[in-house]
Amino acid sequence: MIFTILVGAGKGKRLNLPIPKSFVEIENKKLFLYSVEKFYKFSDKIFLAVPKGYVKKCRKITKKNFSNLIVVKGGKRRQDSVFNCLKKIHNKEGIVLIHDTARPFVSENLIKRIIEGTKKYGACIPVLKITDTVKEVEKNFVKMTLDREKLFIVQTPQGFKLELIKKAYKNLKKISGSDDSFFLEKIGYNKIYCEKGEITNFKITYPFDLIFAEFLIKKWAKE
C-alpha cells in the first residue's frame, strides 16, 4: 500500500498573513488542496496534518471529494506533525510519501519516480544541484568556500519503506531535523537514493512566492 503524509501545519510567519500557510488561497483554491489533488490518485490513504484549530474546518472542506483522506492535528515542529500521522498508520508494510503542502506544483512524473525509487532502494528523495557558489559564513565573515559539485538542494516528496521511517522517527523523537531523510541518516541507513527534482517544485515561503505561484497558474492555464 502507498500512504501519503501531507505536512501543512506550519504557521507561515514569513508570509506575514493572519492564517496558516496551508489555508492561503492561490487562484481561489486553498494551498493544501493542490497537493491533495496531486497525491489522491497515487495513495491508498492520505494523512493531512493541519494546525490545531483547523482540523474540523479542513474535514468539512475535504470530506465530500476525498474519501481516503484523514485530517490529523499537527504538532509544534514539522517532524511532530509527521510523527502524528505515522502513528495513524497501523500496517506493517507499505510505502510512505511525505510531502510539504507548501510545494503545490509537484508533478505526477516526480511522484511516480519517487515511488519507483523507494520500491527499489527503500528510501528516495528529490534533489537539485546547486548552481551558485556557496560559502560558509560566521559572524558576517567568510570561513570557507564549499565544493558545490557535492551540494544539492533537497525537495519533497520523500519516499520511504514504512518500517524504515517508523523506526527512524520512533528512535529519534528528541532530535530535530528539517527533512525526513535526515532521520534515516541518523540510524545509519546509507541507501537513500537521489532522484532529480524539479525547478517548479519550489516551496512557498515568502510573499513573492505567492505572486510567482499565481503567475504560473495563470500562464499554464493559457497553454
How large is the average pLDDT for residues 62-72?
Answer: 92
Host H or E run for residue 46: strand 45-50
Whats the size of the chain, residue-wise?
Answer: 223
Answer yes or no: is pLDDT of 194 > 80: yes
More confident residue, 20 or 98: 98
List pLDDT tens digits, range 8-36: 998 878 888 889 999 999 999 999 999 99
List pLDDT tens digits, range 130-171: 999 999 999 999 999 999 999 999 999 999 999 999 999 987
The confidence band for 173, taking pLDDT boundaries of 50, 70 and 90, is confident
Q: Tell me yes or no: is domain 2-123+156-222 CATH 2.140.10.10.
A: no
Pair 84, 181: CB distance under 8 Å = no
Alpha-carbon gap, residue 168 to 184, rounded angstroms? 6
Model-level pTM?
0.95
pLDDT of residue 177: 87
Domain boundaries, given as residue ranges, for the chain: 2-123+156-222
